[in-house]
Structures are given as C-alpha cells and as structure tokens.
Amino acid sequence: MGSLFLIRHSITAASASGRNLGAADDPPLAAAGTAAADELAATLLAELAELPHDELRLVSSPARRCRETMAPVAAALRRDSEAIEIEPGLREIDYGAWDGLTAEECLQRDPELRRAWIADPYHTRCPEGESGEDVAARAFPVFHEIEAWLAAEAPRCAIVVAHNHVNRLRLTALLAWPMRDYRRRIVQDPAGYSIVTFGTGLPGVRRINAPGAI
C-alpha cells in the first residue's frame, strides 16, 4: 500500500487577504508562509516515520509558492531541488478576469455569473478563465499516474504540493462526492495536508486538511 500526501502551498499575501490567486500570478510565500512551510516539513517527517516506505517521490506545481513550500520538505528529507518533479498540470485554476479580486468584488462585477459559479464551480467557467472541470482535465492525469505508482508496489509514498482548487477537486473525486460540490465539501488551508492510501481496493482517506504545524 502506498500513501499520497496532498498539500496546499503555504501562506501568500493573497491567501492572507482573501484575494483570488490563480495561474496568472506567481508570487513568493509571505514571511508567515515560509515559517509555516518549515513547520510543515517537521510535521511530515513525523508522519513519514510512521509509514514504512522504500521509495519516495516529491511532486510540485510549477508555481513559485508551491516550490517554496516544497523546498524545506526536500531539505528535511535530504533531497536536492533536482529530485522535485515539476508538473505543469497541477497549476492553480485560471481565474481570468476574477484574478486578484475578493469574493465580494467578483459578485459586484459579474453577479449572475458569480452566483452560477458558486452553485456549480465545476461546470461554470470564470470569465476569460477556467472551470473546475477544466482544471480536473489537466490535473487528474498527473494524479492518476502517481496513484497507480503508489498502488503498484508497497511501500511507497508521494508528497505532492499543489493548490486550493486542484486539491479539493482531487479529494472530492476520490471520495466519490458530486463534483459540483467540491468547494462546499472540502476545505484546504495554506500548508494543510491530506493523506490518502492506495492499494488493491478503494482509496483510504486517513487525513483531510490536517494542520502543518506540530
């Protein structure tokens, strides 16, 4: 049985202020985010100590905030940056014209579209951007390959650092919940992590949005 650690990147200025931060912008972590990433690394080391594994993969979205979240994890595991697999399919949703706006500002700008998106963000696209379904179409093949690798032999682990929408979509699919509800059913805090195990049967969810701080 193999284990997937699915992590949302740590704190940025946008996540701290409640503004949309999608694929269009690539800011660094905030100072609080760097500290939280260090705490996350220590927490993951403790988790991994309880999970026997002969092989370990580190996978990240290409976004700077994800790579900076993964860096202390890799360092704690004594892996260099070249060991981190960068997967473009894991980039965050493209908010289009809503990028950088708050939820209230999105509603003021496009009231009808925003209400439709709130009701069903999986099938409704952001203006000039993506829907949840668009994100799943590029991100899920990346997860399928990792999950098949985890299930093929034991013991294996994979640590994946991605984004709010990407992670919620994948967890919703693994839990077999309606995809239109992915924003309502799953919460992803910055530097929060989930653990899902893969083997011969159904995936087993061991953690959802566990705090990265010990």
Per domain, the residue ranges of the chain are 2-92+131-210
Instruction: Give the mean pLDDT of 21-40.
Output: 96
| Lowest-confidence segment of 90-94, 96-100, 149-153 by average pLDDT | 149-153
pLDDT tens digits, one per residue of 117-131: 999 999 999 999 999
Q: What is the pTM of this model?
A: 0.96
pLDDT over 90 at 5, yes or no: yes
Look at residue 214 in the predicted model and tell me its pLDDT.
62
The fold for domain 2-92+131-210 equals Rossmann fold (3.40.50)
Instruction: Please give the Cα distance from 208 to 137 (Å, whole number).
Output: 23
pLDDT tens digits, one per residue of 173-214: 999 999 999 999 999 999 999 999 998 889 999 999 999 876
Instruction: Please give the Cα distance from 58 to 211 (Å, whole number).
Output: 19
Confidence band of 154 (pLDDT split at 50, 70, 90) = confident
Look at residue 57 in the predicted model and tell me its pLDDT.
97
Q: Which amino acid is at 42?
A: A
Instruction: Please give the Cα distance from 61 to 66 (Å, whole number).
Output: 6
Helix axis angle, 31-49 to 64-76, nearest 10°: 40
**Percent share of the chain, pLDDT over 70:** 100
